[in-house]
Structure 1
Amino acid sequence: MAIKITGSGSYIPSSIEKNENFHEHHFLNVDGSSLTHPNSVIIEKFKAITGIDERRYAFDHLTSSDLAFFAAEKAIADAKIDPEELDYIIMAHNFGDVKHNTIQTDALPCLASRVKHSLRIKNPKCVAYDILFGCPGWIEGVIQANAFIKAGIAKKCLVIGSETLSRVVDKHDRDSMIYSDGAGATIVQETDEEGGILAHETGSFTYDEAYYLYFGNSNNKDLCPDTRYIKMDGRKIYEFALKHVPLAMKTCLDKSGVDIKDVKKIFIHQANEKMDEAILKRFYKLYDIEIPDGIMPMSIRELGNSSVATIPTLFDLVRNNKLENHSLSKGDIIMFASVGGGMHVNTIVYQY
């Protein structure tokens, strides 16, 4: 028996927000003062650090649960299963449904219940719940699905990561250029094939690190002080990720018994191109070998950082040969790794 991803789907909004669209933004420092550099320089530096050229925003009439539903439909069709057979719908997000031009999040009912409703699933034994786990939420959802199946209480699970970060950004904060919208979904089920989930590792670092990502006021002090936006301490997150993610990856890989040289692809949360490259470099340095060519697919240049959606979306693109120079073959060893608000780190070693 193996527990495998038998279907995948993603929803990538068609509305493109290019870097040049930020030239008219009024970026401010945390204290409300103006930045010393013009926007053209700020955007150029942003591109050099993050690798982002453009990102996707959802159309105004759509919410995160809508995007999740679209991705879920594709994953169910790809797996060729009856949605009534699903035992769990695990929905990873961080901000609920935030309607366009509103400041209030809506998570009642939970987004997983909304997706189940939209899928028109009648079976009450299909349990739908949300997981709030920062950017690593989709990976943690897969780990939970794996546990349910191993325990014999589930056979088929739908795991989704969806977010509309464009609705919770402070437009006066240069970090707002990182975030984007999207959704990715997968079917995780018991199969007669070999491989699947070989090992996993998760850690929550909260003693000093819990508030590296948080909800805070706008940099524009003239705006309502009661409205909160996504904020982050970028430098601390970068240092945290470089310290903890490679070690978690090594622990997971060693636990799996797989040789580092047999790993074909590594799917890392698309948060920051330079950070992901540095994580990969440190991971391979732990084994004292060179990084193989083409090991790390990247979608951040065109899609930005859509939090929980980045890895399942990237996996779906590669799995369906929609990312240039990247593909998967049966039996390939791959890894998933993520880091995000909480601060949480997790990773999976998987045989495709």
Structure 2
Amino acid sequence: MIYSKITGTGSYLPEKILSNLDLEKMFETTDEWITTRTGIKERHIVSAHQYTSDLAVEASKQAIEASGIDSNKIDLIIVATTTPDKIFPSTACIVQTKLGLSLCPAFDIQAVCSGFVYALSVADKFIKTGSAKCVLVIGADTMSRITDYSDRSNAILWGDGGGAVILEASDQPGILSTHIHADGSYEKLLHVPSGVSHQKGKSTIEMQGNQVFKIAVNTLDSIVDETLEMNQLDKSDIDWLVPHQANIRILEATAKKLNMSMDRVIVTIDRHGNTSAASIPLALDTAIREHKIKRGETLLMEAFGGGFTWGSALIKY
């Protein structure tokens, strides 16, 4: 059986840091209020001349180096992003050029905060069908570019960053299963009202936070059950939870569902904020480089985002 194995990870965060103390100077809020409700202490923000592709490229360089491969071995590039550099070409094509990679297929996926899990799922199918042998999978977003900093309940959440993994075909277990879902009927609970062909309303994020929170917790509960049942595993078989970093309370609720100590949950939201599609690969790379996650351990990734979209990936690292 052919598996998709993660052989290298990388991440990148812009230099500028926007702390809760900085936000206190922008609007009426406090560090304590933000931390208590979200778990966020600071987030990174791109400079005026940085773009999503720049974050993606730097994360990719790290992943390629960590994997030890010749970059010309990459035969597919998938970028999960909500904030592409341009309407077209895809950010993946821009990344391909900036990395000087060979003429392989390259395309973007848009599933907001679930984007990286969606991209992993697609890449896994390419490898398992023999259509690709080495895939660069990236999650990168510049959420600050679509954040309304006059909306304090929303502005406190978002950060910018990029994360990447190299997936290679292997006869050793890697991605064990992926599960992706969507329900577009919840569109207006979390969306950007204006777009290219629908130029009405704001071009920044609008969110009904309390409603999104309730649905997210219940939905992530169900996808945990789905993932464990599909793989005939018990909750105790999961070594690490690597969740989308949206809100510390959602992370705690999912850990409780798994009867898992928070010591076994990768938490970076305090340092990164919500970086959308970059969230999971950033958390994964951070945990690997901090020597928390080790080879042979079983990881559960799960995410929930606008759409609504949600998904999970069970991985033997």
Q: TM-score, normalised by structure 2?
A: 0.93
The structure 2 residue matched to 1:309, chosen from 278, 301, 307, is 278
Q: Does 1:109 align with 2:89?
A: yes
Match of 1:65 in 2: 53
Match of 2:207 in 1: 232
Using the TM superposition, give the Cα deviation of residue 45 of structure 1 relative to its aligned residue in structure 2, in angstroms: 2.0
Using the TM superposition, give the Cα deviation of residue 240 of structure 1 relative to its aligned residue in structure 2, in angstroms: 0.8
Determine the C-alpha separation between the residues in 1 that align with 2:41 and 2:286. Answer: 18
Letter aligned with residue 85 of structure 1? K
The structure 1 residue matched to 2:191, chosen from 214, 221, 237, is 214
Instruction: Call closer, same or farther: CA 1:52–1:3 in 2, change over 3 Å.
Output: same
Determine the C-alpha separation between the residues in 2 that align with 1:157 and 1:277. Answer: 32
The 5 A counterparts of 1:24-35 are 24-26=25-27
The 5 A counterparts of 1:268-283 are 268-281=243-256, 283=257
Using the TM superposition, give the Cα deviation of residue 6 of structure 1 relative to its aligned residue in structure 2, in angstroms: 0.6
Determine the C-alpha separation between the residues in 1 that align with 2:38 and 2:109. Answer: 27
Using the TM superposition, give the Cα deviation of residue 59 of structure 1 relative to its aligned residue in structure 2, in angstroms: 2.1
Match of 1:184 in 2: 163
Equivalent position SS for 1:270: coil
Letter aligned with residue 57 of structure 2? F
Equivalent position SS for 2:25: coil
Determine the C-alpha separation between the residues in 1 that align with 2:282 and 2:202. Answer: 30
Q: Does 1:14 align with 2:15?
A: yes
Using the TM superposition, give the Cα deviation of residue 210 of structure 1 relative to its aligned residue in structure 2, in angstroms: 2.4
Q: Does 1:156 align with 2:156?
A: no
Q: Does 1:54 align with 2:42?
A: yes
Match of 1:345 in 2: 310
Q: Deviations over 1:239-270 (max 9, x none)?
A: 11111111111111221122221211001100
Match of 1:166 in 2: 144
Task: State the 4+ residue runs in structure 1 displaced beyond 4 angstroms.
Answer: none
Determine the C-alpha separation between the residues in 2 that align with 1:259 and 1:291. Answer: 12
Greater helix fraction, Structure 1 or Structure 2: 2
Match of 1:203 in 2: 181
Equivalent position SS for 2:205: strand
CA contact (8 A) 2:193 2:201 kept: no
Q: Does 1:120 align with 2:100?
A: yes
The 5 A counterparts of 1:319-338 are 319-321=288-290, 327-338=292-303
Using the TM superposition, give the Cα deviation of residue 271 of structure 1 relative to its aligned residue in structure 2, in angstroms: 0.5
CA contact (8 A) 1:163 1:181 kept: yes
Determine the C-alpha separation between the residues in 2 that align with 1:185 and 1:330. Answer: 18
Q: Deviations over 1:213-260 (max 9, x none)?
A: 11148xxxxxxx865211111111101111111111111122112222
Determine the C-alpha separation between the residues in 1 that align with 2:193 and 2:126. Answer: 36
Using the TM superposition, give the Cα deviation of residue 293 of structure 1 relative to its aligned residue in structure 2, in angstroms: 5.1
Using the TM superposition, give the Cα deviation of residue 331 of structure 1 relative to its aligned residue in structure 2, in angstroms: 1.4
Determine the C-alpha separation between the residues in 1 that align with 2:262 and 2:37. Answer: 21
CA contact (8 A) 2:252 2:262 kept: no
Match of 1:146 in 2: 124
CA contact (8 A) 1:241 1:279 kept: no
Q: How many residues align?
A: 310
Q: TM-score, normalised by structure 1?
A: 0.84
Equivalent position SS for 2:192: strand
Using the TM superposition, give the Cα deviation of residue 49 of structure 1 relative to its aligned residue in structure 2, in angstroms: 0.6
Equivalent position SS for 1:141: helix
Letter aligned with residue 17 of structure 1? L
Query: Larger radius of gyration, structure 1 or 2?
Result: 1
Using the TM superposition, give the Cα deviation of residue 292 of structure 1 relative to its aligned residue in structure 2, in angstroms: 3.2
CA contact (8 A) 1:199 1:253 kept: no
Equivalent position SS for 2:315: strand
Q: Deviations over 1:178-237 (max 9, x none)?
A: 100000000111123x22111221111223x122211148xxxxxxx8652111111111
CA RMSD in angstroms, aligned pairs only: 1.6
Instruction: Call closer, same or farther: CA 1:227–1:244 in 2, change over 3 Å.
Output: closer
Determine the C-alpha separation between the residues in 1 that align with 2:116 and 2:263. Answer: 24
